[in-house]
Copies of this chain bind each other. A is one copy, B any other.
Amino acid sequence: MPVDSGHPEPEGSGLSLRERKKQRTRRVLADTALRLFGERGFDRVTLEELTAHAEVGRTTFFRYYASKEDVAMAAEGELWDAYVARFARHTGPGPALTALRACLTQTILAMPAGWDRRFVASRRLAAGTPVLHHHSLVSSMRTAQRLIEVLERRLDTDSREDVRLRLLGELALGAWRCGARNWVAGRGEHETPVAARRPGHGGPALLARRVEESFDAIPAALALDLP
């Protein structure tokens, strides 16, 4: 869809009028959703109300988002698309886990301005809404699957032949979940500087840091002893 055909509109962001309208509708839906859900709770807002506020028909909504959960967690979806794309582009020898890790932090830091605010709003919703939390888990697992498929192509192997591929994908996203959880909780490895103010949780930089810390902890986790 984002492929450029004839551009009759030299003005704007280089997209056709139709494309710009679609982008705009998509944004309006996501923004209104985050606002309404934040105000009154995910399950106390019906799609009827959401689409009314966004001034689109109910039918149109489903042409932009696959489900009510989907629009609430849109920010996460954008991160995963960017992550998989980056990892697929990434070329270079070295440890696979390091590559997975580097691509993830780079992706986080490269997300467009304002992304972190939308993301943290989603996470806040998910914290109090089981179905949203589930949606988040599933989307991260789907990301692991997509990473594995990239690895399979790169190494020309089947992940059923070599269990290591799947383990790596699972592990990378596991580390992400640890890091993200600690980020929204406002807790760090050692200290949480006062600078980590509530609303933004310190921004993408701190999120990336939390994820790095989780990756760092992997060897120590394997060695953890029970008393």
A182 B163 Cβ-Cβ under 8 A: yes
Which residues of A pack against B, CB within 8 Å? 92-97, 99, 134, 137-138, 141, 154-155, 160-161, 163-168, 170-171, 174-175, 177-178, 181-182, 185, 187, 189, 213-214, 217-227
B94 A164 Cβ-Cβ under 8 A: no
Please indicate the chain B residues that have their CB under 8 angstroms from the CB of A175 in the complex: 167
Interface residue from B174, B219, B223, B227 paired with A174 (Cβ < 8 Å): B174
Q: What's the minimum C-beta distance from A80 to chain B, rounded to whole angstroms?
A: 15
B160 A181 Cβ-Cβ under 8 A: yes
Q: Which residue of B lies closest to A90 (CB)?
A: B226
A189–B219 Cα gap in the complex (Å)? 24
A224–B155 Cα gap in the complex (Å)? 11
Interface residue from B94, B134, B185 paired with A134 (Cβ < 8 Å): B134
Interface centre among A155, A177, A224 (most CB of B within 10 A): A224
Interface residue from B141, B160, B168, B178 paired with A166 (Cβ < 8 Å): B178
Interface centre among A93, A94, A189, A217 (most CB of B within 10 A): A217
Interface residue from B141, B160, B217 paired with A137 (Cβ < 8 Å): B141
A178 B187 Cβ-Cβ under 8 A: no
A182–B165 Cα gap in the complex (Å)? 13
If A177-B170, A181-B160, A220-B164 touch, whether A226 touches B154 (CB-CB below 8 Å) is: yes
Please indicate the chain B residues that have their CB under 8 angstroms from the CB of A96 in the complex: 224-226
Interface residue from B97, B161, B217 paired with A167 (Cβ < 8 Å): B217
If A171-B174, A174-B174, A214-B167 touch, whether A222 touches B97 (CB-CB below 8 Å) is: yes
Interface centre among A92, A94, A219, A226 (most CB of B within 10 A): A226
B174 A160 Cβ-Cβ under 8 A: no
